[in-house]
Amino acid sequence: MLTALYVPANRPDRFAKAVAADPDLVVFDLEDAVPVADKADARGWAVAWVAANASGPVEIRVNALHSPWIADDLAAICAVPSVRLRVPKVESAADVHAVLEKVPSARITALIESPLGVERAFEIATADPRVVAVALGEADLSSALGVDSPAGLAWSRARLVSASRAAGLGAPMMSVYPNVHDLDGLRKTSQEGRALGFVGRTAIHPRQLSTIVEAFTPTPAQVTAAEELLAAVEKADVTNGGVLVLPDGRMVDPAMIGRAREVTALMREIESRR
């Protein structure tokens, strides 16, 4: 999964447009994007749309766990089978379990937005098999850490990638880039995230999607190297404790082979979109 697109749940006129933009996931946002006065209407619109299009790649971001609106969110969402929820401000496995007790059929993206949540990232990622992803909420986290630049988030980002991989969830997606007009900044920061191990990013406007895909696309040199390595492995016939000795004398271990397969698989996924 390379792209997810937020759409404010109080704007049902944008729902079909968000889907038509063809992200991997559309996230109907009941939380930050929706004024208090619109919470009830937004909940009804989002739940009705998702219920009618349950087979689509959709997710509902509910309000924060300790907010005045979360109980109504979860009660309404119970009517939607196998719904995927993005849960803000998760800080523990207990938070995950509290949501799943109310909506047992849900699949959870746990949004980690505090230093405590970062410290417990692996606990959260392994809280239940119904946790399908973890993600950072970087605006709240930056404020809590007292940092004003991406450099201050480097450790938290790396921690999330490690926790997600260790939990068997695969590489996580990056948080949003808030300036929808600065595509150069989006590209640069996405490439920095790719270097840390992220695969893909959430967006707040359809115009960001193609730049995100571009930034997370392996370079031609990376694809060529991966393909050549896998082709050489196919021909190799000498093994020694899990290490392959290629005809040209190179030693290749399983980790290198696995990474080459990841690169080629990602490239096939990207090419399938074109």
Q: Residue 1 — very low, low, confident or very high, per pLDDT cuts 50/70/90?
A: confident
- Is pLDDT at 238 greater than 50 in this prediction? no
pLDDT for 266: 81
- Of 236 and 217, more confident: 217
pLDDT for 232: 79
93: Cα within 13 Å, side-chain hemisphere: 7
Which residue, 82, 79, 71, is CA-closest to 39? 71
pLDDT for 226: 87
pLDDT for 241: 53
Q: Residue 237 — very low, low, confident or very high, per pLDDT cuts 50/70/90?
A: low
61 marked ligand binding residue: yes
- Of 258 and 196, more confident: 196
140 marked ligand binding residue: yes
pLDDT for 259: 85
Q: Residue 231 — very low, low, confident or very high, per pLDDT cuts 50/70/90?
A: confident
Mean per-residue pLDDT for 167-188? 95
The structural architecture, per CATH, of the domain 3-216 is Alpha-Beta Barrel (3.20)
pLDDT for 219: 83
CB 174 within 8 A of CB 185: no
pLDDT for 143: 95
- Is pLDDT at 163 greater than 80 in this prediction? yes
For the chain, the domains span 3-216, 220-272
Q: What is the pLDDT of residues 131-162, one digit of tens each?
A: 999 999 999 999 999 998 888 999 999 999 99
Q: What is the pLDDT of residues 22-71, one digit of tens each?
A: 999 999 999 999 999 999 999 999 999 998 876 678 999 999 999 999 99
CB 50 within 8 A of CB 83: yes
Q: What is the pLDDT of residues 184-209, one digit of tens each?
A: 999 999 999 999 999 999 999 999 99
What is the value of pTM for the model shown?
Answer: 0.86
pLDDT for 46: 95
